[in-house]
Structure 1
Amino acid sequence: MPIGLLALALGGFGIGLTEFGIVGLLPEVASDLGVSDPVAGYLVSGYALSVAVGAVLLTAAIARFDRKKVLLALMTLFIVGNLISAIAPNYSVLMVGRIVAALCHGAFFGVGAVVASDMVAENRKAGAISLMFGGLTAANVLGVPLGTLLGQHFGWRSTFWAITVIGVIALAGIQLLVPQTTAPAQTSLRNEFGAFRRPQVWISLAISVLAFGGVIGGFTYIAFTLTEVSGFATATVPWLLVLFGAGTFVGNYFGGKAADRALNKSLIVIMTLLTGVLALFALTAQNKVMAVVSLLLMGAVGLATAPGLMVRIMKHAQDAPTMASGANIAAFNVGNAIGAWLGGLALAAGAGYVSPLWVGAGVTAAGVLVLLAGSVRTQGRATVPEAVAAPAPAPADVMS
């Protein structure tokens, strides 16, 4: 295992903690800043939308630069955003801090996915990407629960101060452990964006939106579900989130292994299971034992899709892997935003605290249908020729 993958995982840990660490603190943030529960949830969806914007626009801007230097610059932006969040005097400034930190998220994972996959052989690419995403899942296993616990005892701002420190450590780790890279071959924006002319690229993006929209739709308001429906005390929420995080860690690892063996089949099975788990959680949330089991399964199945979805889009855009992976990170977070928004609408409509889980199940079920349709289109077609078939840029279009 290349040691540089550990550095990428370290950066992913900090970014993952920023994205999801606030979930367990939404009740405290809502109370302290004087906003409603659904409005507090927009700190999740606002972050996700900003990730989507940064993933596409920043990735396009940095595609021709040295990838290690890009990763260092993005981590610096991440640190600044969390500093703003830590000192935010009101909801609006907190949202600004979330947006600044989010802008680096998509590009970091997009560039990082390419760097990780370049470190290993062809048949180990999904595994390498899953290791990089292991930092994200580790944030769920340890970072989110501990961040929630820290915020509950010392105020939610203390969590953002801790994330800032982690960002500094991650910055040093990337500088020391990620090997030197060379600037990618010069290319044109027309060629980079040419990947979006392929139907399978758009199908991959749609699947990513729906897969992550489903799981985040249920997860965003999980603290309310656990306390208001399952009957757990607020102080137990951080420890319950450890179960979700442990599930994501295991699911991410085995999801990468499964994707390396049978990409489309594994994705179909995992997303179908996710739909069932979300529905089961909604049906049994009043039972504490079943709530615990469902929370663990939700984490395991929910994040198991990430490596396979990343590999799928990169296979259909092999001539523009950085842009494709960045766009897929954007799709993940568009899904996050849509899921959180739909869950908030369900809560605002008075549908109850299990309604986000039902919303998530419906969104994921739609993703299964899109995946099945996309799999039918690829039968009998090779993915490499599709990528190679993209027209080469004219000499005048090549960026200098």
Structure 2
Amino acid sequence: MASNNPHSSQHALPSVLGRYFDLELVSGSGCYLTDRHGNQYLDFSSGIGVTSTGHCHPKVVQAIQSQAETLIHPCIAIGTSAPPLELSQKIETICRDAFGPSQTYQSFFAQSGSEAVEAAIKLAKYVSKRSNIVAFSGGFHGRTYGALSLTTSKEKYREGYAPFLPNIDFFPYPYMYRRPWPGTSDEACLEAGIQALTHSPLLNEEVAAVIIEPILGEGGYVPAPAPFLIALAKRCRQLGILLIADEIQSGMGRAGTWFASSHAPIQPDMITLAKGLASGMPLSACVAKKSLMDQWPPGAHGGTYGANPVTCNAANATIDVLSGCLESVQALGKFAIEMLNTQLSTSPYVGDIRGHGLMIGIELVKDKGSKTPYPELAQQLMRACLEQGLVVISCGLFDNVIRLIPPLIIDQSTLEKGLSILVEAIHDSH
């Protein structure tokens, strides 16, 4: 969106920073953002899945302020502090609740999702003594070099950066709407995919790890079917391959459970977390079974800002807030999908509505028969919704999916308000 504002980010910041809009925001509270003109926007983007507790949640703000008054940064190499220790214990408890008490997990803290993925790949290679990694087509794992080598959600992310890391292979993601395997029904296609996975030569005893998003994020908000994830986990166990669940966008309650992996359910060897972990503070985690972490010697990996006490304290408060929201997120997600399916059933441009919890994608097509992607409509809807005070953003391999990721603390009436604006915009586009 163009802007004549001389203080605009288009003038002050480098063009490489992608933008959906050129809003100059001055404050945020709960589910709303306010720009410099006093306009309020209902935020269904949550800072791209980050502000799960809403903007400036008082418990998170208090946690940041109190820690900043006491200790900001000692560096974990010099000495630890209470917040990262508490956070490690909270994540360990969450993992036990999600995957059972048979395994103990530890967390390596960094700043971004990309760094969490880099840590997971390094750990997998180190402990397995293997060199190969298998990722999935359409996946997004980050912009740093190793993470980018695993990323194929958009070609523009990779253009100009070759050659990428060697020994990386890609398997089709189970994107059932797009039918990556032959079959006249979803069931037949899925069975063909599971058979292809089971017999794929890409999965072998030279593979250190397989990394998968249980819900494809930037690739279009596509949940992987539970039978596929279960078959993948089984095949990895058979071959001694470590399974990494990239939950950077789907984790921390976004899908209605702490981890989207729980919907299968599967038990990953490692989990990468970031976006919803600390309510907007820069924090990520590579969470791995302790039996793996114990094989990683001191100094084999690290980072100056890892386990920062301020960001970790924000995460502690975030978990405290979200722990009371999970049932509501499940119920609200079902409400949203039912409302969208009912009110958009006659739209010729809505090809698929999918998701778990409050991670919902609406795939736009030029017609339902051909399923031709309609990215132009996605851009039109984003602008139309913004004019009506709603922030929604797009994603997808073809940039034709409207993603709905409101704060997890949202109530039903506010959720319905935002959905109604979007539904009206879609109907007005006919």
What's the TM-score once normalised by structure 2's chain length?
Answer: 0.27
Q: Which has the higher helix share?
A: 1
What's the TM-score once normalised by structure 1's chain length?
Answer: 0.29
- CA radius of gyration, larger in: 2
With a CA cutoff of 8 Å and minimum separation of 6, indicate the structure with the bigger relative contact order. Answer: 1
